[in-house]
């Protein structure tokens, strides 16, 4: 058994952190949560506390990064200057996609996931569509690229839900994949489903899921095939949704309805579905998503970077959609920043403060993301849950003098001091225990961008 004595711990359903909590774990599971309030401290026993590892600062459950494209990490700082929009950014992204093979993908993803571990992320949802060779020809193992991601997460010490994305067409009108897009495609949804269902890697750190890349990339008459494949395998289904007004316009022109309506009509929404972005839903879309308990993953730093706009987060949450968070393009890997952006973006839009409580933001960054990724037993400091602990310093230049309850509005990823995943220490004193993260990022990115 391992025991930790936290200075503060954020317990489930609590509006703010609890001081002096003893957390016990055995075999990667939390077996005891004991707040040592003044009145109960004497009963805890001196010998129990003597062998407890002290965790100064604020300890949170593991953070879940619900939406990632690992290879986009290579674009950080390369696309932010100058003009352009989502579509010009996408062209740059395709240049990197063209260069990757299973070996370079493993190296880049391992470094990107290790950066996530340093940021307190214990579980990542990888929205994976780089399936085949550059000209679209499958590798000898048609899931070689997925296997590289599975191995990368294992080596970085975090859990992974591999969301295998169906990506068949270039436009809502059904134009074929061309150029760099060819490696994304399986031909049709049945062939995608066969390949995805045949991928059964083992590992306690791994789950699989399915994804509809978007209504741009999966024809309307094949959406139900993807949804049924996820449903039959009882795995999560994710989909990019209404990131851009142009997607809504194209969908209306082709199908006479919004992307949300199209997904609903093809059986692709529900409590096991997470839609990503939902930046431009209509009022009726918000009702459809909420009534079906479809989950929404917001990626505020990416939506900011790509000039997408601000999604109606509060309205979607009020309608019944649980919110989670993703770093998506990895322009920033910092779930504290993603979480507070949900509140701060609402402030910019409404010119009013106070839309989300700190507890709601913690929920979005932790348990809601884990549930969206199929891990119903993670994301809470609770007996029986996975022993994922993320400790944030309260004595850094950013957090000194900040009350523990305010840490989500002050801390950055750089303030994460220790990360425990399934009972194992992955980050100690701010250092990854297995990966030299800056060195591996530099090397792996230089290889796939062709620049030092
Ligand atoms: Zn994405």
* CA 70–ligand 1 middle distance (angstroms): 10
pTM: 0.96
DSSP state of 378: -
Q: Which of 277, 280, 370, 432 is catalytic?
A: 277
Burial class (CB in 10 A: 0-12, 13-18, 19+), 44: middle
pLDDT tens series, the chain, 452 aa: 999 999 999 999 899 999 999 999 999 999 999 999 755 554 555 556 888 999 999 999 999 999 999 999 999 988 766 667 777 778 888 888 899 999 999 999 999 999 999 999 999 999 999 999 999 999 999 999 999 999 999 999 999 999 999 999 999 999 999 999 999 999 999 999 999 999 989 899 999 999 999 999 999 999 999 999 999 999 999 999 999 999 999 999 999 999 999 999 999 999 999 999 999 999 999 999 999 999 999 999 999 988 899 999 999 999 999 999 999 999 999 999 999 999 999 999 999 999 999 999 999 999 999 999 999 999 999 999 999 999 999 999 999 999 999 998 999 999 999 999 999 999 999 999 999 999 999 999 999 988 76
Pick from 137, 364, 271, 86: nearest CA to 145: 137
Distance 244 CA to ligand 1 centre (A): 12
How many angstroms separate the alpha carbon of residue 71 from the centre of ligand 1?
11
Catalytic annotation, pick one of 186, 285, 305, 328: 328
Specify whether 328 is catalytic.
yes
Which residue bears the tokens 């986009």? 72
Helix (H) or strand (E) holding 305: helix 300-305
**Residue 277 is among the residues annotated as catalytic for this protein:** yes
User: In terms of C-beta distances under 8 Å and separation of at least 24 residues, what long-range contacts does 245-248 make, across chains too?
Assistant: 245/280, 245/309, 247/172, 247/214, 247/215, 247/216, 247/280, 248/280, 248/282
């Amino acid at each position: 058994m391992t025991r930790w004595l936290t200075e503060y711990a954020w317990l489930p359903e609590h509006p703010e952190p609890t001081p002096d909590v003893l957390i016990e774990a055995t075999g990667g599971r939390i077996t005891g949560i004991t707040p040592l309030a003044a009145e109960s401290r004497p009963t805890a026993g001196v010998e129990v506390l003597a062998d407890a590892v002290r965790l100064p600062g604020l300890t949170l459950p593991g953070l879940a990064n619900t939406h990632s494209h690992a290879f986009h990490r290579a674009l950080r700082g390369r696309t932010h200057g100058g003009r352009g929009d989502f579509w010009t950014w996408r062209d740059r992204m395709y240049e990197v996609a063209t260069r990757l093979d299973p070996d370079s993908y493993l190296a880049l993803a391992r470094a990107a996931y290790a950066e996530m571990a340093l940021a307190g992320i214990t579980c990542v949802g990888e929205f994976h569509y780089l399936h085949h060779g550059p000209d679209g020809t499958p590798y000898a193992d048609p899931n070689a690229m997925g296997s590289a991601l599975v191995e990368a997460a294992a080596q970085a010490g975090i859990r992974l839900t591999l969301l295998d994305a169906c990506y068949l067409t270039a436009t809502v009108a059904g134009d074929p994949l061309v150029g760099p897009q060819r490696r994304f495609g399986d031909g049709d949804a049945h062939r995608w489903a066969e390949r995805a269902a045949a991928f059964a890697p083992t590992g306690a750190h791994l789950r699989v899921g399915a994804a509809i890349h978007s209504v741009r990339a999966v024809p309307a008459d094949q959406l139900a095939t993807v949804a049924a494949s996820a449903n039959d395998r009882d795995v999560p289904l994710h989909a990019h949704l209404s990131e851009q007004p142009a997607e809504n316009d194209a969908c209306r022109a082709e199908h006479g309805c919004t992307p949300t309506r199209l997904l609903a009509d093809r059986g692709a929404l529900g409590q096991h579905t997470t839609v990503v972005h939902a930046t431009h839903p209509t009022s009726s879309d918000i009702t459809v998503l909420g009534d079906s308990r479809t989950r929404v993953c917001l990626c505020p730093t990416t939506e900011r970077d790509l000039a997408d706009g601000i999604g109606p987060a509060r309205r979607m949450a009020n309608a019944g959609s649980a919110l989670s968070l993703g770093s998506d393009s990895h322009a920033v890997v910092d779930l504290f920043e993603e979480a507070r952006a949900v509140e701060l973006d609402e402030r910019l839009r409404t010119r009013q403060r106070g839309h989300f409580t700190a507890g709601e933001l913690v929920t979005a960054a932790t348990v809601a993301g884990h549930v969206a990724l199929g891990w119903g037993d993670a994301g809470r400091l609770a007996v029986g849950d996975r022993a994922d602990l993320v400790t944030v310093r309260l004595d850094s230049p950013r957090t000194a003098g900040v009350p523990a309850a305010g840490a989500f509005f002050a801390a950055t990823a750089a303030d994460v001091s220790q990360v425990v995943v399934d009972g194992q220490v992955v980050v100690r004193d701010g250092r990854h225990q297995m990966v030299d993260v800056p060195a591996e990022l530099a090397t792996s990115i230089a290889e796939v961008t062709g620049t030092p």
